[in-house]
């Protein structure tokens, strides 16, 4: 596949359709999810697209038209996607993939619409993850859309963590919101006084309830908690003024002020009373951690959707660019191909497309992983509770043995009989999936939204001036700006990098990473055209660099891999994300190749589609390898001091007089000696003698190998570009401009 030319291979004729995506993103057997995708798409390309086209983004206020969008979500089943069947929903079991698919469809048209839908789920998530059964049933049932015959309006929620500066933002530990005992009669439930000011709170214009993070300011309440506030509670429920956002205007955002009296039963997850002190079962950090690790995945997928959604409008614009001009007659290359005659325009679109594919693959892999992890986590909790272990350090200690077993499992041969025993152990399975999820979630949020935003700028630029107008088909300019919010909210890039700094260095994750690297080599043997070998070499280089940095120090003796040293750890986290995205992209194409033939629709033109998507993989793998190589080289060499022309560093230099003598026994040495000192001490005009790189020659060997692994990558890009210039697209976009 890797060396074939277009004329020898099948070419993709149309854009990848639903059947292809269902196989790649693994919901071909989930009719419920396929239906959800269709309904969300209907709202996105209907109601939402009309709102954007009619200028509803031009106001910060919450308007009746925007409110109508929420009702459209309700009617389409988008709201109910979060609920269990007994709570008014229609999807049983974990819903991470479901919510991700729905967010993907909405963000395909408008990120603000997707956020408006997700924000209610975000408000419910603390309750869903950590609430008591009574809280879960009560609030999720209220938030479910009305059943046929019911007239009630569903409750909408807001999630209030962020506070006015200088309090909570990235640093979730610095809370100013307060909770105190308002009243506590003997033998009765305590009442709480909650004072919380929010900043940038989504859904606030219409929220009926708010899940708010607060700290105790009363010795009779221990620590912090998340508390549920309702609009009918006694006191002040002030929604504040709308935020003057430049982005996501179809969602509502504002800075509310709450000063409310609520019963202690509103503490999310409940509480116990010990020695006259209310002790929440979960502090706010524990609640928020379990929420964000799931909800950040759909956010990452929103940016992925925008990148892939840009492909069709850009192709159409490029092809039609010169139509109507005098010299551009139908049938002529200029008329038919427009800007697509030009290689650069095609190559840049290939890069955007490849990024979108990688981002979607990474995000959906993370979403599926959480669907697998959710029941395992419940099983783990039940097993540990039976053993009398609950949370915190005790849990970490209890899982240590399972971690060692997980690492052992990863080292066993396929034929080893012990595999079955370890694979059947739910704690081992939990530890494996948990370690992976702890990396994939922040990687999705970080890479998809951060690098994705940069690539959205590329998409905008391909549309010329049109790209930065409201009329741009596909609303690309708005999508570019919106992506920056996706990179910011639920914790901006620094938060994701900080998390990766810890989780990517876990023994269990690194053992998996080693296995994945080997897998990529094996995949390369059967599918060299995917760039899997390039990726394997880059993964190897990354791991070598991590191990090196864990031990290395700078010239002053300070450790390089250290939480405070973000210049090292954050950069390495960035490099990893590129590799993870590329890996997921390759795995999805392999899935399509192996399963596509079984589907009557996907099997049509399958070879061409697989060829094209493999070429995108190869293109992306080369980019990822290049990024990883650049970052790793800078870290490995960048923290050693460059040799200087000072005396003590002269050791590696030749003196001009020495060279003359050497020339007699080693003819030609003068030509290759670069750091020569003249008798008067003068030297070549450069920073100093070249660094000898002693000790890091293994890095150079690996990097050298990686460079040669890039062979074929540009041929793949050429082939992908040719397909982009020929692929058929519909006459017009299926949503209005
Ligand atoms: C439209 C919109 C909707 C929102 N919706 C909600 C909502 O519904 N609920 C809610 O609670 N919040 C919401 N937010 C708030 C959002 O989550 C925060 O804005 C975001 O988490 C960043 O916090 P901050 O604005 O205080 O940025 P800051 O913390 O001031 O960050 C500024 C910059 O400094 C960097 N930085 C900060 N700390 C570090 C560090 N330790 N190391 C390195 N770099 C660092 C950041 O990465 C960033 O680049 C919303 C925000 C917006 C704009």
pLDDT in tens, 24-53: 999 999 999 999 999 999 999 999 999 999
Among 86-100, 618-632, 661-675, the range scoring the smallest mean pLDDT is 661-675
Mutate to test the pocket of ligand 1, among 488, 490, 574 (most ligand atoms within 8 A of CB): 488
Q: With contact defined as beta carbons under 8 Å apart, do 125 and 226 qualify?
A: no
Number of neighbours of residue 411 by Cβ within 10 angstroms: 10
Q: Distance between CA 393 and CA 389 in Å, rounded?
A: 10
Does position 693 have pLDDT exceeding 80, yes or no?
A: no
Closest C-alpha to ligand 1, atom 47: 494
Query: What average pLDDT does this structure show over 690-710?
Result: 85
Mutate to test the pocket of ligand 1, among 200, 248, 291 (most ligand atoms within 8 A of CB): 200
pLDDT at 3: 45
- The tens digit of pLDDT for each residue in 118-147 reads 999 999 999 999 999 999 999 999 999 988
pLDDT at 676: 80
CB of 255 shorter than 6 A to ligand 1: no
- The tens digit of pLDDT for each residue in 593-645 reads 999 999 999 999 999 999 999 999 999 999 999 999 999 999 999 998 887 87
Q: With contact defined as beta carbons under 8 Å apart, do 288 and 161 qualify?
A: yes
Does position 4 have pLDDT exceeding 60, yes or no?
A: no
User: Which residue do the tokens 């991700």 mark?
Assistant: 100
Does position 6 have pLDDT exceeding 50, yes or no?
A: no
Q: Distance between CA 387 and CA 402 in Å, rounded?
A: 14
Among 188-197, 220-229, 501-510, 726-735, the range scoring the smallest mean pLDDT is 726-735
Beta strand pairing call for 209-216 and 224-230: antiparallel
Instruction: Give 497 Cα–ligand 1 centroid separation in angstroms.
Output: 14
Query: What average pLDDT does this structure show over 239-266?
Result: 97
pLDDT at 697: 85
From 304, 303, 305, 294, select the one nearest 368 (Cα to Cα).
294
Helical H segments across 82-179, by residue range: 96-107, 111-130, 133-143
Report the atom number in ligand 1 closest to the C-alpha of 248.
Answer: 1
Please report the sign of the dihedral spanned by the C-alpha atoms of residue 180, residue 184, residue 190, residue 194. Answer: negative
Report the atom number in ligand 1 closest to the C-alpha of 247.
Answer: 1
Q: Distance between CA 277 and CA 44 in Å, rounded?
A: 49
Closest C-alpha to ligand 1, atom 51: 200
Percent of the chain predicted with pLDDT > 70: 97
CB of 245 shorter than 6 A to ligand 1: yes
* Average pLDDT value for the chain: 94
DSSP line for 678-703: PTTS---SSSSSPP--TT-HHHHHHH
User: Which residue do the tokens 């999705």 mark?
Assistant: 444
Show Cβ contacts of residue 217 under 8 Å, excluding neighbours closer than 6 positions: 178, 179, 180
pLDDT at 164: 95
- The tens digit of pLDDT for each residue in 59-79 reads 999 999 999 999 999 999 999
Residue 200, classed as helix, strand or coil, is coil
pLDDT at 690: 73
Among 21-35, 485-499, 576-590, 691-705, the range scoring the smallest mean pLDDT is 691-705
pLDDT at 737: 63
User: Which residue do the tokens 């989930």 mark?
Assistant: 30
From 497, 98, 470, 494, select the one nearest 301 (Cα to Cα).
98
Query: What average pLDDT does this structure show over 568-587?
Result: 98
Does position 416 have pLDDT exceeding 70, yes or no?
A: yes
pLDDT at 269: 97
Does position 80 have pLDDT exceeding 80, yes or no?
A: yes
pLDDT at 652: 64
Does position 651 have pLDDT exceeding 70, yes or no?
A: no
- Convert 253-279 into a string of H (helix), E (strand) and C (coil): EECCEEEEEEEHHHECCCEEEECCEEE
Percent of the chain predicted with pLDDT > 90: 85
pLDDT at 285: 94
DSSP line for 36-81: HHHHHHHHIIIIIHHHHHTTGGG-SS--HHHHHHHHHHHHHTTGGG
Please report the sign of the dihedral spanned by the C-alpha atoms of residue 224, residue 228, residue 229, residue 233. Answer: negative
Q: With contact defined as beta carbons under 8 Å apart, do 572 and 636 qualify?
A: no
More confident residue, 692 or 70: 70
From 581, 404, 577, select the one nearest 500 (Cα to Cα).
577
- The tens digit of pLDDT for each residue in 454-481 reads 999 999 999 999 999 999 999 999 999 9
Does position 695 have pLDDT exceeding 50, yes or no?
A: yes
From 359, 378, 377, select the one nearest 298 (Cα to Cα).
359
Report the atom number in ligand 1 closest to the C-alpha of 488.
Answer: 20
Q: With contact defined as beta carbons under 8 Å apart, do 161 and 168 qualify?
A: yes
Angle at 420 between CA 416 and CA 421, to 5 degrees: 110
Mutate to test the pocket of ligand 1, among 251, 492, 573 (most ligand atoms within 8 A of CB): 492
Q: Distance between CA 368 and CA 278 in Å, rounded?
A: 38
Instruction: Give 167 Cα–ligand 1 centroid separation in angstroms.
Output: 11
- CA atoms within a 13 Å half-sphere pointing along the CA-CB vector of 514: 15
Show Cβ contacts of residue 431 under 8 Å, excluding neighbours closer than 6 positions: 399, 402, 403, 405, 406, 508
CB of 485 shorter than 6 A to ligand 1: yes
More confident residue, 422 or 673: 422
Instruction: Give 490 Cα–ligand 1 centroid separation in angstroms.
Output: 7
Report the atom number in ligand 1 closest to the C-alpha of 245.
Answer: 1
Instruction: Give 247 Cα–ligand 1 centroid separation in angstroms.
Output: 15
């Amino acid at each position: 596949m890797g060396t074939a030319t277009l004329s020898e291979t099948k070419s993709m004729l149309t854009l990848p359709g639903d059947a292809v995506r269902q196989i790649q993103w693994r919901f071909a057997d989930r009719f419920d999810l396929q239906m959800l995708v269709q309904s969300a798409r209907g709202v996105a390309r209907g109601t939402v697209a009309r709102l954007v086209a009619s200028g509803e983004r031009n106001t910060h206020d919450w308007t009746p038209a925007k409110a109508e969008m929420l009702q459209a979500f309700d009617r389409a089943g988008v709201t109910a996607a979060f609920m269990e069947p007994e709570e008014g929903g229609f999807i049983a079991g974990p819903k991470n993939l479901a919510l991700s698919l729905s967010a993907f469809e909405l963000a395909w048209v408008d990120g603000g619409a997707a956020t408006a839908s997700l924000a209610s789920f975000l408000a419910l998530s603390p309750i869903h993850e950590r609430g008591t059964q009574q809280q879960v049933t009560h609030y999720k049932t209220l938030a479910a859309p009305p059943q046929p015959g019911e007239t009630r309006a569903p409750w909408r929620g807001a999630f209030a963590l962020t506070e006015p500066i200088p309090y909570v933002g990235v640093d979730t530990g610095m809370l100013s919101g307060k909770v105190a005992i308002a009243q506590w009669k003997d033998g009765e439930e305590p009442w709480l006084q909650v004072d919380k000011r929010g900043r940038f709170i989504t859904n606030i214009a219409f929220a009926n309830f708010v899940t708010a993070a607060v700290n105790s300011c009363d010795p009779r309440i221990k620590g912090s908690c998340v508390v549920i506030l309702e609009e009918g509670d006694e006191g002040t429920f002030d929604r504040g003024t709308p935020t003057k956002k430049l982005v996501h205007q179809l969602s509502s955002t504002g800075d509310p002020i709450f000063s409310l009296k609520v019963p202690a039963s509103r503490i999310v997850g409940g509480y116990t009373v010990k020695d006259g002190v209310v002790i929440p079962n979960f502090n706010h950090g524990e609640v928020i951690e379990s929420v964000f690790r799931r909800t950040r995945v759909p956010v990452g997928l929103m940016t992925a959707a925008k990148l892939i959604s840009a492909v069709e409008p850009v192709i159409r614009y490029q092809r039609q660019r010169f139509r109507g001009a005098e010299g551009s007659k139908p049938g002529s290359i200029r008329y038919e191909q427009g800007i697509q005659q030009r290689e650069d325009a095609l190559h840049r679109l290939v890069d955007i497309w490849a990024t979108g594919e990688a981002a979607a693959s990474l995000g959906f892999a993370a979403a599926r992983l959480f669907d697998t992890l959710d029941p395992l986590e419940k099983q783990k909790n039940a097993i540990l509770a039976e053993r009398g272990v609950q949370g915190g350090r005790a849990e970490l200690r209890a899982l240590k043995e399972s971690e060692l077993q997980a690492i052992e499992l990863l080292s066993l041969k396929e034929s080893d009989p012990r595999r079955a025993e370890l694979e059947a152990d739910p704690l081992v399975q939990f530890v494996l999936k948990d370690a992976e999820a702890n990396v994939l979630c922040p990687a999705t949020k970080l890479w998809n939204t951060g690098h994705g935003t940069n690539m959205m700028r590329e998409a905008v630029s391909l549309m010329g001036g049109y790209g930065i107008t409201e009329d741009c088909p596909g609303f690309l300019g708005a999508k570019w700006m919106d992506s920056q919010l996706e990179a910011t909210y639920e914790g901006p890039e620094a938060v994701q990098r900080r998390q990766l700094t810890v989780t990517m260095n876990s023994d269990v994750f690194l053992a998996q990473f080693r296995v994945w690297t080997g897998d990529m080599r094996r995949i390369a043997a059967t599918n060299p055209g995917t760039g899997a070998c390039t990726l394997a070499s880059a993964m190897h280089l990354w791991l070598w660099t991590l191990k090196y940095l864990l031990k290395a120090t700078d010239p002053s003796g300070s450790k390089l891999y250290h939480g405070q040293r973000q210049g090292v750890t954050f950069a390495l986290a960035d490099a990893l994300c590129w590799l993870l995205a590329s890996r997921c992209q390759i795995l999805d194409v392999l899935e399509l190749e192996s399963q596509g033939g079984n589907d009557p629709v996907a099997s049509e033109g399958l070879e061409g589609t697989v060829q094209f998507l493999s070429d995108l993989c190869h293109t992306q793998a080369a980019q990822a390898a290049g990024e990883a190589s650049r970052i790793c080289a800078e870290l490995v060499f960048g923290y050693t001091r460059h040799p200087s022309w000072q005396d003590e560093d002269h050791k590696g230099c030749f003196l001009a007089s020495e060279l003359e003598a050497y020339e007699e026994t080693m003819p030609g040495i003068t030509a290759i000696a670069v750091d020569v000192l003249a008798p008067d001490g003068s030297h070549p005009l450069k920073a100093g003698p070249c660094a000898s790189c002693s000790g890091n020659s293994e890095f150079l060997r690996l990097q050298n190998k990686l460079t040669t692994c890039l062979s074929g990558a540009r041929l793949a890009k050429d082939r992908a570009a040719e397909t982009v210039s020929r692929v058929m697209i519909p006459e017009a976009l299926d949503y209005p401009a």
